[in-house]
Amino acid sequence: MSLIAAQTPERLKFIDESACHLGLTRAYGWAKKGERCCFAVPGNTGARRSMVGLFTLSGGMAAHRTQKGSLKTDDFQSFVEDMVAPRLVAGDVLIVDNAACHKGKKVRQMIEAVGARLLFLPPYSPDFSPIEFAWRKVKASLREAGARTAETLTQAIEAALQAVTAEDAGKFYAHCGYRAVEQSH
């Protein structure tokens, strides 16, 4: 954790994955006093969609990929090679959780080849990862959208990921204790 503390938040980049399905619905609702709150809840969850994203202070969800099914090690390596490594510069610190797909030698080699470092969060510490808040915002948007077909779910995912802004990133980083350094002119 001392490596993280020594960096400016702009250098810290986070990768994480999440998943959703067609059965994602609101967890609560409202109704007039004396009336029952009702809304349709699908009985079938449908196909699973996995999402992986690169979260940065300046770009919010700077890169992302969505796919059918679960995210495998090869899928993660492809994401790092195609979308993450080209966005890293020497001195960046890429922070990931302890998922097995993050621990491949190829992933570390691609990151270190550009002069960046790969750092693993301590086990069970999502509170140090601002991308967790981004996923929370994405899933809230997906619940609100209430997609019930694969096509509308894909569209809703894209819209939800695009809605995670740099302004959101600043708030999420600050909430996790990563304070942006104010520039004096």
The pLDDT tens digits of the residues spanning 77-115 come to 999 999 999 999 999 999 999 998 999 899 999 999 999
Question: Which pLDDT value is given to residue 113?
Answer: 97
Residue 28 lies in a domain: no
Cα 180 to the chain's mean position, in Å? 20
Confidence of residue 145 (pLDDT cuts 50, 70, 90): confident
Total domains, the chain = 1
- CA–CA distance, 85 with 82 (Å, rounded to integer): 7
- Segments in 6-149 forming alpha helices (H): 73-79, 105-113, 131-145
State the Cα–Cα distance between residues 44 and 174, nearest whole angstrom.
38
User: Shortest CA distance to 80 belongs to which of 58, 109, 50?
Assistant: 109
Tell whether 105 is covered by a domain.
Answer: yes
Residue 80 within any structural domain of the chain: yes
Per-residue model confidence (pLDDT) at position 58: 93
Distance between CA 31 and CA 164 in Å, rounded?
30
Residue 123's CATH number: 3.30.420.10
Walk across the sheet containing 12-20 and list its strands: 60-68, 49-56, 12-20, 93-96, 117-120
pLDDT in tens, 24-74: 766 667 788 888 877 666 666 677 899 999 999 999 999 999 999 899 999
Is the per-residue pLDDT at 184 higher than 50? no
Query: Do the bridges between strand 60-68 and strand 49-56 make them parallel or antiparallel, or are there none, so unpaired?
Result: antiparallel
pLDDT at 137: 97
Give the model's pLDDT for residue 176.
93
- Band the pLDDT of 21: cuts 50, 70, 90: confident
Residue 40 lies in a domain: no
In a domain, 100, yes or no: yes
Is 79 a domain residue? yes
Domain that holds residue 88: 2-22+45-174
Residues 43 and 25: their CA atoms lie apart, in Å, by: 11
In the prediction, which pLDDT does 39 show?
A: 66
Identify the sign of the CA torsion 58, 63, 69, 73.
negative
Domain annotation covers residue 37: no
**pLDDT > 80? residue 130:** yes
Structure confidence at residue 183 (pLDDT) = 43
148-165 per-position pLDDT tens digit: 888 899 999 999 999 999
Rounded to whole angstroms, the Cα distance separating 115 from 92 reads 8
In sequence order, what are the beta bridge partners of 53? 16, 64
d(CA 58, CA 24): 29
Q: What is the pTM of this model?
A: 0.86
